[in-house]
Structure 1
Amino acid sequence: MNERQFGPELTAEGASFRLWAPAARRVDVLLDKPHALRRGDDGWFSADVAGVKAGARYKFRIDDEIDVPDPASAFQPEDVSGPSEVIDHATYRWRSENWRGRPWPETVMLESHVGTFTRDGTYRAMIDRLDHLKTTGITALELMPVADFAGRRNWGYDGVLWYAPDSAYGRPDDLKALIDEAHLRGLMVFLDVVYNHFGPEGNYLGRYAPAFFTDAQTPWGSAIDYRVKQVRDFAIENALYWLRDYRFDGLRLDAVHAIAEPGETPLLGDLSRAVGKLADTTGRYIHLVLENDDNAAHLLDARQDFPRGKYRAQWNDDYHHAWHVLLTGEAHGYYRDYQHSPLRDIARALGSGFVYQGEASAHRDGRPRGEPSGELVPIAFVSFLQNHDQIGNRALGDRLETSANPRAMEAALAITLLAPMVPMLFMGEEWGSKAPFPFFCDFHGDLAEAVREGRRREFAGAYARYGDEIPDPLEVSTMQSAVLDWLSREQPPGRERLALIRKLLSIRQREIIPRLADAAFGRAHAEDGGLLMADWRLGDGTTLSLTANLSNQDMPLTAAHIKGTLIWGKELTASMAPWAVSWRIG
C-alpha cells in the first residue's frame, strides 16, 4: 500500500491517481484516454482507474489547457516535460535484506556525481568502483542530487521532479542495484536533496498549485512556502520516500539557510522527527546532515540514537575556507573572512567546530554569523578540503591539486582524515585527481543564454584574467572534462597519494573510530610561524593530540609538544620539518 499522499498507488484493480491542484478547475489523467479526476477537499483531485499496471505512462491535463507530468512522478523516461511512469517499488528484490546501516561515528564520506564518476555516467557503472571505495577506507558514498532535471546533464541542483531519479543515469531499479551492491560491501549511501527551490525548467507547479511558492526569492528562484501543510507534506514525504523505497542510509539537505519560513515551526524539525520515526520502527541507522551557511549549532545533535528534530552533523564550510586560504593565499569572495589568520581559524575549527560563532562577517556586510558550537561533539561536523561547490564555483572548476603545494596538501589531508570530526573527500581526491569539476547544465533558448551570461558576470572580477578560458556550462565538452581520470590513480603521483589516503584511513579505522563515542573538543591553538596544536578527549578517556608545522620552515619544539604514543608521523625531536604532522594518543 502507498504510504504517501502524492503519486499514484497501485491497487488490485488498477491504480489510484491523486494531484493537489488548488488553482485548477478540472484535472484529467491521460492514459489510453482522458479520465476525469474528482475534486475533493483542500484542492485535491483523485480517480481510480482500472487496468493500470506498473510501466504505464501518464500525464495530467489541467483545465483542458496544458498537459503536465506528475510532480511526484517516480520516473520520467522522456525527461521533465514528458509522461510520468508508474513504478512498483515492491517488485525489486533486495539482496542486502539484513542491512541496517552503520553508526554515525564510522562515517568516512566520499561525495560523487553520478554522471561524471565513470565514463558511462550511470548508476550501474558506479557499481564497478565500489570495491575501490571499500579498499580505500571509505564507508559512505554520497550522491549529488539525482532528482529529475531538464536535459541530459546537470549538477543536480536544478531538479524539478523530486521523486524521480533522473533517466540520464538509468532506471529506478538501477539506482536500487547501486545501493544494494554498496550495502553488500558494508558501504552506506547518502543522497543530496534540495528543498530550498525548484529548478528553472520543467516546473509547472505555479500553474495549478501556486500556493507552493512565496513572494520571497532565493538565489536560485522563488522560495517554497512551507507554511502550507500540503507543501510541507510534499517535502517530508519525499525524504521518507528516498529512505524507505530506495533504502538510502541518510540525506544531506542542501543550503537550508535558503528555506524561507516566516513565523512558523521550521520544516527541518518536522522532517527530522518523521525520519526518526522511520528509523525507530525499522531498527535502521539513518543519518541527516545539513548544509547551512547560518552555522546554527542548535539544529545539531550527533548523539541522538535516531533523529528527534535535530540533525547529526553539518558540512563545516568554515573549516574548508580557512584551509583554502592557507593553501592558496586566495582572499576574494567569502575567503576574505579568513584572510587575517587562516591558521588560527583552522585551530578554532579544530577546537570548537565553527570559526564563525556569532562574530561579524565582512563578506556578509558586517552581520553576525553563527552560534557557539564548542559544546557539541566533534562528529557533529563534516570536515573537507574540497567539494562540488568549492571546486565548481571557480572559473575553471580547478581542484586544489592544481595550485597547492603537494606537501601542504598531504599535511592538510593527514589532519582532516585523523581529526575526530567526520571526514569527507570529493571523488578522485583520494588519488589527487586533477580532473576539473566546472558547473554544467543542458538548458536551451533564453534560459541557456541567461546561465551563460550569469557565469560571465560572476567571474568578471577575481577571475577576469581567464577570459575565454572559462568553460561554457552549456557545452557537452564541459561535462566531459569533469569525468574522473581513473587511469591516473595507477600512475606514480596518483598511486602514492592513494597509498597515503589508505594508510591514514586504516589508522582512523583502528585508532580513532572505536574511541569517537562521547569524544569532546579540547584545546587548539596556533603559534606564530606555523605551529598548530590541538587535543581532544576521546570516549575511552584518552587524549588525542595533534602537532603540525604548517609552514615552509623548520619549527623548534619543546617537551611540552610531545605527549602520548605516536600513531602517525615521525617521532618529534627538537625541531619539526616543514609541513610535518604528528598524531599521538595517550
Structure 2
Amino acid sequence: MRIGSHYLGNDRCEFSLWAPTLQEVAVQILSSERRLIPMQQDEEGYWKVTVEGVAPGTLYNYELEGNIERADPASHFQPQGVHGPSEVVEHSTFAWTDKSWSGVPLEEMIIYELHVGTFTDAGTFESMIPRLKDLRELGINAIEIMPVAQFPGERNWGYDGVFPFAVQNSYGGPEAFKKSIDACHQHGISVILDVVFNHIGPEGNYFADFGPYFTKKYSGDWGDAMNFDGQYSDGVRNYFIENALYWFENYHIDGLRLDAIQAILEFGARPFLRELSDAVAEISQKIGRKLYLIAESDLNDVRTIRSREIGGYGIDAQWNDDFHHSLHTLLTGENDRYYQDFGKLAHIEKSYREGFVYSGQYAPHRKRRHGSSSVEEPGYKFVVFSQTHDQIGNRVLAERLSQLVAFEGLKLAAGAVFLSAFVPFLFMGEEYGESAPFFYFISHSDEPLIEIIRKSKAEEFKAFTGRGEMQDPQSPDTFNKCKLNWELRTEGKHQALWELHRQLIQMRQTIPALKKLDKKCLEVSGIEDDKILFLRRWNDDSQIFAILNFNLEDVTFTAAPPVGNWQKILDSSERKWMGSGTSLPDNLEAGKQVTMKPQSFVVYEVK
C-alpha cells in the first residue's frame, strides 16, 4: 500500500497516511493560502485524499483529531528538519543518465563504506562526486553510504533518523542525493544504502501519534521495539517494505544494508525479512536488474542468507563479524569485551573455511552456545572487513586500526581481507591508513536527551577505563576531528598502503583463483604456536598459495605448497611496500626451510 505524498502532475498530489486508530485526519497545506482538507479512511486504516493546487515544493502537515499537527511519517523531504513540515517532492523529473546501468554483481563487489558528513570537508552529497574518480582508480565498484534518513541537526551517524523516507537536508536533500547516485553509476559504482528498520530515533519521533508503530511486547535495544507482529502490525510491515522499494524506484539504489536485524523482533509464521526479500525480488524483475539486500546480524543464523526455497529469508549476504573479531584479535592482541571469544589462529582458519566461527559451540563472552553452521553457504554471501564504523566508533578513543597496530599490521589486515573467498569491504580512509578517529557524534536540540546520551556513552565506555577520555558526542569539535585527511594518501607509507590495496583489488579482479568466491575451492591450515596461516585457492588451472604471518617475530618453517611451479607475485615485506626487505624466495619449493618477516603476507601463483 503506497504511503506518503505522491505528486501526480498538473499541480495534483495524492496523500496517503496509515493511522488505523484515529477518528479524524486532515492534510494541512501550508502555502500562502493555508488549506485544511479532510481525508477519508479505508478498511485497512489508510487515510487518503487527492488535492488540487499542490505543486512540488509545497509544505504540508497532517492534522490529527482536530488538534495535533505533525509532519508526514513517510515524508520525502524535511527542509526545516525533524520538527518542521514535510515537502512535496516530484521524483519523475530528475534527468537520470544511467539508463544502460546494469549494476555490479554481488560476487564482484569491492565495497567502500562512507559517512557523507565526514567523507569531505563540505560533508554533502555533491562534494562526494569529485572523489568518485579516486575510488574508481583504487578499484572500488560499490559504495555503502551510512544512513541518510533525516536526523536531528546536522551531525549524526544516521542511526537516529526519524523520517526513513526523507533525505537529510544538511547533506543536500533529494536532488543532490540523486546527482551523486547518478554520478556513481557513470563511474561504474553501485550504491548500497544503509537503512534502519529496527527502531526510530528519539528526537522528532512522533510516530506514536499516528498509530501502533511500537510495541511493549519486546524490549528494544534503542527504545520501544517496532511492532512487527502485534495488532495492526500489517501497517508497520508495509511501511518498511514501502521504504525499501522507495529507494530502489526513486533513487536507483542498487542495494540496501539492513542495520542490526537481530533487533527486528517478531514471532510469527511470516518473518518480515522473508516478506521484504520477496518484495525486493519482485521489484528486481520489474526494474530488470538484480537488487541486493545485505544484513547486519549478531545472530550467526544461517537462515538469514539461505534461499527462500529451503526455508531461509532470502537475504543476499550478511556482514561477518566473526571474521573481523578473529582478525582483530590476532593483529592487536585485545581480549576484552566480545574479543574474549576469539584470539586463536584456529578461529580465523575456520572463518576462511566456513564463514561463521561460532556455529553452535559455547561462546565465553555470551556465556551460552551461539550460532549455526554456514559451511554450505557460498563465499559471496559473506561481507568481510578489518574495520567498520561500529568497530572504530564504539571505542572510547575511536581509534582506527592505524592507531592500534604497526604499518606491517595494516598491510597484513588488507591481505587477510582481500585474499579471502568473501566480498571485501573497506571503511573510508582505511585504504591509505587514515589517522583521524571516527567518534560517535550527534547534534540534538533536546538538552535532557543530550545528557542521557552522554551518560549512556560514559557507561558504555567503562570497559575502556584507563585508556583515554570520552569525547562529548554533542560537540562540533568531536565531529570535525572525524573528517578525512585526503592529502595523506599521497605521502610515504600512506601512499604505499593505498598502492597495496589497489594491487590486491586488481589481483582479485584478474586472477581466476581469487575472483571465484567458492569456499569449496579453498584449503586453509595453520601453525597455531607460530601464528602462521596457509591459504590455497583455485579455479580450474588457476591457483594461488598465500602465507600470512600474524606473529610479531620472524618465523622459520618448512614450506609445503602443493606440486607446481610457484612464483611470487606479492610480498608485503618487500621494500616496494616500504617493508624491511623480504627473506622469501621468488620460487617456492616444497620441503625448503623459509623465514618470514613479522606481520607480513606473501602470495604465490602457479605459472
TM-score range, shorter-chain basis? over 0.9
Matches within 5 A, 1:96-115: 96-115=98-117
Give the superposition deviation at 1:212: 4.0
C-alpha separation between the residues in 2 aligned to 1:141 and 1:302? 25
1:266-314 deviation line (CA, Å, top 9, x unaligned): 111111111111112222121211111101112215999xx99512211
User: Do structure 1's residue 390 and structure 2's residue 379 form an aligned pair?
Assistant: no
Q: Distance in 1 between matches of 2:202 and 2:363?
A: 31
| Residues 519-561 of structure 1, C-alpha deviations (whole Å, 9 max, x = no match) | 53533222121111123443x4644432222213333333423
Residue matched to 1:455: 457
Instruction: Say yes or no: does 1:5 pair with 2:5.
Output: no
Check 1:515–1:477 CA distance in 2 against 1; reply closer, same or farther (3 A cut): closer
Matches within 5 A, 1:515-530: 515-516=515-516, 520=520, 522-527=522-527, 528-530=529-531
CA distance in 1, matches of 2:488, 2:535: 35
User: Is the partner of 2:218 in helix, strand or coil?
Assistant: strand
Alpha-carbon shift at residue 142 of structure 1 (Å): 0.5
Comparing 130-139 and 321-330, the one that deviates more: 321-330
Amino acid at match of 2:603: W
Alignment counterpart, residue 179 of structure 1, candidates 178, 181, 185: 181
Q: CA deviation at 1:184?
A: 0.5
The match for 2:15 is 17
Provide closer, same or farther for how the CA distance between residues 576 and 350 of structure 1 changes in structure 2, counting only shifts above 3 A: farther
Q: Give the partner amino acid of 1:583.
A: V
Shift of 1:263: 2.3
Counterpart-to-counterpart distance in 1, 2:470 and 2:307: 40
Q: Which of 510-519 and 273-282 deviates more?
A: 510-519
Which SS does the other structure have where 1:524 is aligned?
strand
Q: 1-side partners of 2:59 and 2:251: how far apart?
A: 21
Q: Indicate the RMSD between aligned Cα atoms, in angstroms.
A: 2.1
Amino acid at match of 2:20: P
- 1:271-350 equivalent positions in 2, closer than 5 A: 271-301=276-306, 309-339=313-343, 341=344, 343-350=345-352
Provide Cα deviations, 1:203-240, integer angstroms capped at 9, x if missing partner.
Answer: 11112212443431221111111221111111111111
Flag the 1:183–1:297 CA change in 2: closer, same or farther, 3 A: same
Alignment match, 2:162 = 160
Whether the 8 Å contact between 1:256 and 1:291 is mirrored in structure 2 is yes
Distance 1:447 1:221 in 2: 13
TM-score, length basis structure 2: 0.91
1:233 aligns to 2:238 (yes or no): yes
Once the two structures are TM-superposed, the CA of residue 176 in structure 1 deviates from its matched residue by 0.6
Identity percentage over the alignment? 38
**Number of residue pairs the alignment of both structures matches:** 575
Q: Is the 8 A contact 1:214 1:223 kept in 2?
A: yes
- Following superposition, the deviation at residue 509 of structure 1 comes to 1.4
**d(CA) in 2 for partners of 1:425 and 1:488?**
17
The one-letter amino acid paired with 1:278 is: I
Quickly say closer, same or farther: Cα 1:308–1:334, change in 2 above 3 A.
closer
Residue 323 of structure 1: CA displacement? 1.4
Inter-partner Cα distance in structure 2 for 1:401 and 1:392: 14
Q: Report deviation, 1:40.
A: 2.5
Moved more, 278-287 or 387-396: 278-287
Superposed, 1:500-579 pairs within 5 Å as 500-512=500-512, 515-516=515-516, 520=520, 522-527=522-527, 528-538=529-539, 540=540, 542-561=542-561, 564=564, 565-566=566-567, 567-569=569-571, 571=586, 572=588, 574-578=593-597, 579=599
1:223 aligned to 195, 220, 225, which one?
A: 225
Instruction: For residue 421 of structure 1, report the CA deviation from its aligned partner.
Output: 0.8
Deviation at 1:251, TM superposition (A): 0.8
Partner-residue secondary structure (3-state), 1:230:
helix
- Structure 2's unaligned 5+ residue stretches are 572-583
Match of 1:123 among 108, 122, 125: 125
Could you tell me how far apart the structure 2 residues matched to 1:519 and 1:530 are? 22
Aligned partner of 1:489 in structure 2 is 489
Q: TM-score, normalised by structure 1?
A: 0.94
Aligned mates of 1:500, 1:530 — CA distance in 2: 23
Compared with structure 1, are the counterparts of its residues 23 and 137 closer, same or farther at alpha carbon in structure 2 (3 Å cutoff)?
same
Letter in 1 for 2:305: L
Residue 271 of structure 1 aligns to a residue in which SS? Answer: helix
In 2, the alpha carbon distance for the partners of 1:6 and 1:236 equals: 11
Q: Corresponding residue for 1:429?
A: 430
